[in-house]
A and B are shown apart, each in its own frame.
Chain A
Amino acid sequence: MNRRVLIPAAVLAAIAAAGVWWFTRPAPTVNPDPPPVRADDDGPPVFEDVTADSGVSFTYRNGEESDRYTILESLGGGVAVLDYDRDGRLDLFFTGGGVIDATTPVTVRGLPGRLYRNLGGWKFADVTAAAGLAGAPFYSHGAFAADYDRDGFTDLFVTGFGGVALYHNEPSPTGGRWFVERAAAAGLTDNRWATAAAWADLDADGFPDLYVCHYLDWSPANDPVCTGNGVPRDVCPPQRFKALPHRLYRNNKNGTFTDVTSTAGLRADGKGLGVVVLDLDGDGKPDVYVANDAGDNFLYLNRGGMRFEERGFSAGVAVDEHGLFNGSMGVDAADYDGSGRPSLLVANYQGEFHALYRNLGGGRFRYHTAPAGLGRLGQKFVGFGTALFDFDRDGWEDVAIANGHVLRHPVGSTFKQRPVLLRNEEHDGRRQFRELPGKGGAYFRADRMGRGLAVADLDDDGRLDLVVSHSNEPVTLLRNVAAPERKWIGVEVAARDGRDRAGTVISVTSDGRKLTRYVKGGGSYLSTSDARVVFGLGSADAPVEVAVTWPGGPTHHYANLAPGRYWLLTEPDPVKK
């Protein structure tokens, strides 16, 4: 959420004042062309909004009704997709946000999140209270699921202003499962404003470690009044505040964590809002990429032993085409171009393009927004939830981005903004993203306050669905109805002895093309997506071979797998073997 003025103004000034070409020639009589006609309502829907009949009815509240215009209200909330009760269906947890009371100084209270159990057939039941999640210890933002103690049940880490919560998944006294909050006991005691987080085994000991982004030093005691564009007050820009240091916690393998920030080589700056973990330089170790607001993005290359080297600038992923940092929020990574390497997609603030950093191999990237067709979106969006996923099962990773402004009175854009759905297509000899005719359905044609976004196959039909959290608007469940005739194969990986899977690389060769997918830590914005991967196979329906490269480990091949279903691929035990 960057409100940079100086350098762009300088560039404009240089162009305007220097008079690169002084332009005073008159015009013959030709009128400017009329604005382009947009066929917004043409084209079949790709996603159907099925929220109304699903039993899911929940709204994240950011507290803006108090009209205190705090920067706290700008971030919004997320959604975690997890099978908390191991019934084989993916459940949904939404963070609740909070209330900002119009006292002096302001006071901030949390609102509870909501856990919905998936009953199948697109029906969900509210199980929040029974699952022990009815409390609201702080104003919440993100939800990040992982089995941190490798007991076979997925736990939940929740971030926010005023604290973090580590909800351990335990047997409920009344039967079933519930969550017990254990952050303090686990050593997660940094209560400064926390936003995005990522679980991943960074030191190859099998247990997921935890990277936590912290944002900035706003507080009720540090709550300046900022004027807006033509209005007496608006939300303050992040530049008015100091960055908070991020945290890296090593999993002690006993349910507790050790803060290793100071020895891991992390930078002290960065107003972090997004993080994704996967192997970005091809050395077999998961790396950490951090999307920062109003500052350079970070690329922490994993050097082993819980040591990292920040190489964002030299790798080409810290800034944009103009050498300027962006206001970055959401982030995801995928092999969008068939190179076998994961590229990075970053959702940015108004006045900037959403950035695609194409992975060239060897730890080098190229800012590739325009060649990838993303320049066509313009610079009016403020992007949050970000996903690279193959919604039409043609084998190419597509894009969804949830947008919505943070300013109440933006200039040159709108408060609510439409989300975008982009299809990966071949144009001009390379892969590019294009909006679909009709934008992909009614949901994508309306303006919204999009924030968290998760990708998940909620009905296990091989078509990846979407769940979106909005600020002060109900959450939305979008059922994928695209291209039902296309073939697919789904893969869930189970690493040996339940060790963490983030960093696993899975590939399928189909119709002579190698498709590569990644099991990631973090990703998107304040959310957790389905950990399974789906390969779109187009029209190919022959059995395929799946190659799984485990984090830091060997590659195993699983032959003759029939399409049209999910496969659980387990890592062979080398000792038993």
Chain B
Amino acid sequence: MGNRIIPLTVLALLAAAGGWFAFGPGARRTDHRAEAEAAAGRRDFVAARDHLARYLASDSADRDAHLLAARISRRLDGAATEEHLGRYGELGGDREVLELERALSRIEAGDPAGSGRVFDFCMKHPDHPAAPFALESLTIGMRKIGQPDRALRCAKEWLRVAATPADRAAAHVGRGQALAMKGLGAEAAEEYRLALAESPTDVEARFHLAEFLSRDELVEALKLFRGLDAERPERPEVRLGMARCQRQLGDHTAATAIMTPLLAARPDDPDVMTEAGTLALDRGRADEAEDLLRRAVSKAPDRRTPNVQLLRCLQERGKTTEADAQRARVKQIDDELERRIAAMSVKP
């Protein structure tokens, strides 16, 4: 773990955070506040955010509610995190708690500074109320910086201290994602299944399991994706997973029915363009595929999949010279990926 010294000592931060956990929230609960906390406990962060928004609309001076909102925002897209932390500070919130929250945000974003000290503290004080969410942030952060072994270790400790089935499920998913990074797909899938044993409706576990199964068990994967899609049809990643499954199953009609509106809704999304291009290639529409795949590559020039599909397309179209150049580009990307994987294998 990183060895930079952060401005405030982590020990102090975590101790303060523990105090906040023990005595902070709960003094002025309303129904929405209580609902938000309950939803956060079961990791239903969207519901928690919505309840808190309603609560804060009528009681915007509740600093602890802002802190909770910041934490929930961090688990979602992070868009409102700093706004709530700012409000928390303005309302006299504990400065050390504030700094801890910002430190965890940085770790999750891929800045490992201070992560070693946070991890050491969690090892020494596994019963500290801040330990679970600190280990969660460490798991995410280590994965983000391409250190799956470290992420696995953090997730293992997180699993030990996680209090609720939802948290344990999340820890299993964290382990699964780290294992997937190491290319251990079957082991990753086992973690996702363990997560579902803890929390049968866990969305992340179902999504990642579906992604894994889309290699081997397309029909089962498609059912999982369909279940997720029925719950929240607006999620593009699920729609994309469904389309991939349908394409791999050889059902171009069904895949096209998904991809056409998805592409219209997300015309600049490189993953959508890549899948649409691959589908066009499978359907024998190489000219259409070439246009889509060129656009995908322009949006994501370093990503392997659009580059490989464009290479296939150029080969099929007999554009030999350009295909040779594209092949060299894919080789370059492969070399870089191998270099990154070699870096991953560095021992913690």
What residues of chain A lie closer than 8 Å to B282, measured between beta carbons?
A: 368, 370-371
Residues 262-289 of B, flagged 1 when their CB comes within 8 A of A and 0 if not, give: 0000000001000000100111100000
Within 235-252 of B, Cβ neighbours of A (below 8 Å) are at 235-237, 247-252
Residues 42-77 of B, flagged 1 when their CB comes within 8 A of A and 0 if not, give: 111111000000000000000000000000000111
What residues of chain B lie closer than 8 Å to A366, measured between beta carbons?
A: 281, 284, 312, 316
Q: Is the CB of B248 within 8 A of A370?
A: yes
Query: With an 8 A cutoff between CB atoms, is B84 at the interface?
Result: no
Query: With an 8 A cutoff between CB atoms, is B144 at the interface?
Result: yes
Given A314-B323, A428-B251, decide whether A14 and B216 contact each other with a Cβ distance below 8 A.
no
Q: Is the CB of A26 within 8 A of B46?
A: yes
User: How many A-B residue contacts, CB cutoff 8 Å?
Assistant: 178
What residues of chain A lie closer than 8 Å to B323, measured between beta carbons?
A: 314
Given A22-B77, A370-B250, decide whether A378 and B186 contact each other with a Cβ distance below 8 A.
no
Nearest-Cβ distance from residue B289 to partner chain A, whole angstroms: 11
Q: Of B76, B148, B215, B312, which contacts A378 at CB under 8 A?
A: B215
Query: With an 8 A cutoff between CB atoms, is B327 at the interface?
Result: yes
Interface residues on A, range: 35 or more
Query: With an 8 A cutoff between CB atoms, is B139 at the interface?
Result: no
Stretch at the interface among B112-120, B157-165, B174-182: B174-182
Stretch at the interface among A5-13, A43-51, A484-492: A5-13
Within 218-237 of B, Cβ neighbours of A (below 8 Å) are at 218-220, 223-224, 226-228, 230-232, 235-237
Q: Of A25, A31, A351, which contacts B203 at CB under 8 A?
A: A25
Residues 166-189 of B, flagged 1 when their CB comes within 8 A of A and 0 if not, give: 000000000001001111011100
Q: Is the CB of A10 within 8 A of B334?
A: yes
Q: Is the CB of B341 within 8 A of A6?
A: yes
What residues of chain B lie closer than 8 Å to A30, measured between beta carbons?
A: 201, 227, 230-231
Nearest-Cβ distance from residue B137 to partner chain A, whole angstroms: 13
Given A33-B223, A428-B252, decide whether A378 and B218 contact each other with a Cβ distance below 8 A.
yes
Cα(A372)–Cα(B249), bound, Å = 9
What residues of chain A lie closer than 8 Å to B146, measured between beta carbons?
A: 13, 17
Q: Is the CB of A9 within 8 A of B250?
A: no
Query: With an 8 A cutoff between CB atoms, is B330 at the interface?
Result: yes
Residues 312-348 of B, flagged 1 when their CB comes within 8 A of A and 0 if not, give: 1001101010010001001000100110110010000
Cα(A26)–Cα(B48), bound, Å = 10
Query: With an 8 A cutoff between CB atoms, is B127 at the interface?
Result: no
Q: Of B77, B204, B252, which contacts A371 at CB under 8 A?
A: B252
Q: Is the CB of B143 within 8 A of A17?
A: yes
Cα(A214)–Cα(B126), bound, Å = 58
Interface residues on B, range: 35 or more
What residues of chain A lie closer than 8 Å to B207, measured between beta carbons?
A: 23
Given A26-B203, A31-B201, decide whether A371 and B250 contact each other with a Cβ distance below 8 A.
yes
The chain A residue with its CB closest to the CB of B283 is: A371
Within 350-374 of A, Cβ neighbours of B (below 8 Å) are at 351, 360, 362, 364, 366-368, 370-373
Query: With an 8 A cutoff between CB atoms, is A566 at the interface?
Result: no
Cα(A310)–Cα(B183), bound, Å = 32
Q: Is the CB of B340 within 8 A of A16?
A: no
Given A7-B337, A16-B180, A367-B312, decide whether A21 and B201 contact each other with a Cβ distance below 8 A.
no
Query: With an 8 A cutoff between CB atoms, is B202 at the interface?
Result: yes
Given A371-B250, A375-B249, A432-B250, decide whether A21 and B237 contact each other with a Cβ distance below 8 A.
yes
Cα(A501)–Cα(B251), bound, Å = 39
Given A13-B341, A17-B146, A373-B250, decide whether A26 and B220 contact each other with a Cβ distance below 8 A.
no
Stretch at the interface among A243-251, A316-324, A388-396: A316-324
Nearest-Cβ distance from residue A13 to partner chain B, whole angstroms: 4
Q: Of A7, A32, A314, which contacts B227 at CB under 8 A?
A: A32
Stretch at the interface among B6-14, B29-37, B97-105, B300-308: B300-308
Nearest-Cβ distance from residue A250 to partner chain B, whole angstroms: 31
Within 425-444 of A, Cβ neighbours of B (below 8 Å) are at 427-429, 432
Given A20-B271, A378-B218, decide whether A25 and B337 contact each other with a Cβ distance below 8 A.
no
The chain A residue with its CB closest to the CB of B278 is: A321
The chain B residue with its CB closest to the CB of A434 is: B250
The chain A residue with its CB closest to the CB of B226 is: A33
Query: With an 8 A cutoff between CB atoms, is A305 at the interface?
Result: no
Query: With an 8 A cutoff between CB atoms, is B26 at the interface?
Result: no
Q: Is the CB of B304 within 8 A of A28?
A: no
Residues 246-276 of A, flagged 1 when their CB comes within 8 A of B and 0 if not, give: 0000000000000000000000000000000
What residues of chain A lie closer than 8 Å to B251, measured between beta carbons?
A: 427-428
Given A25-B46, A313-B327, decide whether A9 and B181 contact each other with a Cβ distance below 8 A.
yes
Q: A10-B334, A27-B231, A33-B224 are in contact. List 14 more A-B contacts (CB 8 A).
A: A6-B341, A12-B181, A20-B237, A23-B207, A32-B227, A33-B226, A314-B315, A321-B278, A321-B312, A378-B216, A378-B217, A379-B215, A411-B187, A412-B186
